[in-house]
Amino acid sequence: MTHIDTQYLNLVQEILKAPKKDNRTWIGTHAIACRSIRHDMADGFPLLTTKKVPMRVLAVELEGFIKWINSKKRFQDRNCHIRDEWCNPKKVAYGHDEETKKKMMEEDDLGRIYGVQRRDRMWNPAEDRAGIDQLKILVETLKTNPFDRRMIVNARNPSELDQMALPPCHYSRQVIVTLNKEGQKVLNLTWNQRSVDTMLGLPFNIASYALLLMLLAKEADMIPWILMGSLGDVHVYENHVDGAKEQISREAKALPKLEITNRKSIWDRQYTDLELTGYDPHPGIKFEIAV
């Protein structure tokens, strides 16, 4: 299978040739639509090598999603600042002006974000009942009925969009169990993403879902196999173009290996329970977030 960096750089090159279009951030984008990324986990852990991607930061974020965290401070205390610019729009309404941006930065409540939707899904907030723990159901199904074809988790909830720090970009995922040539159960994961910040967000999305695939496979005693992302609006912001050109000039390197270093359950495991080896990336490239 084609090296993940090669797939990624080919995607960036294609985007840079696309016409520019406007969007809600007031920063123009070059954009294409309906693309995909596919990786065989046997080829290594898909942490891009053509720029340094901070593994610890994405591991903290994923742990927060699994543990149902919606406090910005909880992420910041672990030196993860991915969510700094956002907050619950019920607390501070979204805006472009500097005063609003400052208030958004200062507000701790992230609202009904990814982790909450996965662990406390309220299909109808008007109903007086407990939410549905989609992730727990998925894990239990993997263990008890692994060939079920309905193992899907959704993050987009139309009834709660007004409480989300940002409407979910990667809004659903499905896991599928198949058998390899030796008859062993292998776990595959595919995710759907409506909006793709290719330079800043996509490297994190790829590695985060790869880590989730590994965690689920370990929990169910399976082998992680194919990871695939189906990408909707795939774009490069105008203020990322120079960095994008720098990155596509670089050569891909060998992918690292990632090991989960203890026998804790997926619910108890921490971001420190990982060991990354053989990661020798090119230097990082600074990309400013578009708010």
Q: What is the pLDDT of residues 7-25, one digit of tens each?
A: 999 999 999 999 999 988 8
**pLDDT (tens place) for every residue of the chain, 291 residues total:** 899 999 999 999 999 999 999 988 889 999 999 999 999 999 999 999 999 999 999 999 999 999 988 898 988 999 999 888 888 988 998 888 889 989 999 999 988 888 788 787 776 655 655 688 999 999 999 999 999 999 999 998 888 888 887 888 999 999 999 999 999 999 999 999 999 999 999 999 999 999 999 999 999 999 999 999 999 999 999 999 999 999 999 999 999 999 999 888 999 999 999 999 999 999 999 998 887
* Domain limits for position 176: 4-68+133-157+168-277
Q: Tell me the pLDDT of the chain averaged across its residues.
A: 93
Query: 99 in a domain, yes or no?
Result: no
How would you classify the pairing of strands 185-197 and 223-237?
Answer: parallel
Query: 139 in a domain, yes or no?
Result: yes
Sheet with 170-179, edge to edge strand ranges: 20-21, 29-40, 223-237, 185-197, 170-179, 152-154
Query: 53 in a domain, yes or no?
Result: yes
Task: Count how many domains the chain has.
Answer: 1
- Please tell me the distance from the alpha carbon of residue 277 to that of residue 282, in angstroms, as a whole number: 15
Which pLDDT does position 55 carry in this prediction?
Answer: 97
Q: Which two tokens stand for residue 291?
A: 């708010």
Catalytic residue among 34, 80, 87, 169: 169
Q: Which two tokens stand for residue 136?
A: 């727990």
**Residue 197: CATH number of its domain:** 3.30.572.10
Q: What angle do CA 230, 242, 238 make, to 5 degrees?
A: 60
- Please tell me the distance from the alpha carbon of residue 171 to that of residue 160, in angstroms, as a whole number: 13
Query: 74 in a domain, yes or no?
Result: no
Does 34 qualify as catalytic in the annotation?
A: no
Task: Count Cα atoms within 13 angstroms, Cβ side, for 225.
Answer: 15
